[in-house]
């Protein structure tokens, strides 16, 4: 039986997780948000650029009540992902604003968002 080889931790690309909130006049459906993000990134960076970002939306962490979502990407492309999110201003015919709440190296780090002295659960 063939044994699978793993990369050493020093050779793996490190991930970053970006927590953001969508501010809109009406509630947003996750599928519409996902489609708008992918369309904007493909228009801005092209297919090759998006593949280099190694970007994925974490569907399990989408909160429809607070309208928060998490995107994972590699640590070298955080600034490009933030710029791409900043370019999104419409979702269909509705105007939206994307507010970046936190960038972290782990999902656990996003669990608690500190505002002042009190901690909010994400």
> In this structure, is the dihedral angle defined by the CA atoms of residues 45, 46, 48 and 52, taken in order, positive or negative?
positive
Note the pLDDT tens digit of each residue in 38-77: 999 999 999 999 999 999 999 999 999 999 999 999 999 9
Quote the pLDDT of residue 120. Answer: 52
Note the pLDDT tens digit of each residue in 61-70: 999 999 999 9
pLDDT band with cut points at 50, 70 and 90 for residue 89: very high
CA distance 68 to 106: 16
Mean pLDDT (whole number) for 7-23: 89
Q: Which residues of 55-94 are buried (b: 16+ CB within 10 A; e: fewer)?
A: bebeeebbeeeebbbbbbbbeebbebbbebbeebeebeee
Which range, of 2-11, 58-67, 96-105, averages the lowest pLDDT? 2-11
Quote the pLDDT of residue 121. Answer: 54
Mean pLDDT (whole number) for 77-83: 95
- pLDDT mean across residues, the chain: 87
Mean pLDDT (whole number) for 16-32: 93
Mean pLDDT (whole number) for 5-12: 82
Q: Into which CATH architecture does domain 15-106 fall? A: 2-Layer Sandwich (3.30)
Domain boundaries, the chain: 15-106
Quote the pLDDT of residue 2. Answer: 72
């Amino acid at each position: 039986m063939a044994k699978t080889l793993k990369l050493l931790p020093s050779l793996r690309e490190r991930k970053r997780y970006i927590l953001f909130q969508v501010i809109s006049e009406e509630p947003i459906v996750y599928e519409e948000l996902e489609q708008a993000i992918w369309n904007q990134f493909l228009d801005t960076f092209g297919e090759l650029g998006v593949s280099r970002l190694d970007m994925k939306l974490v569907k399990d962490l989408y909160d429809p009540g607070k309208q928060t979502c998490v995107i994972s990407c590699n640590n070298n492309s955080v600034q490009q992902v933030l710029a791409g999110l900043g370019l999104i201003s419409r979702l269909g015919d509705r105007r939206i604003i994307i507010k970046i709440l936190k960038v972290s190296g782990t999902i656990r780090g996003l669990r608690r968002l500190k505002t002042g002295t009190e901690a909010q659960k994400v």
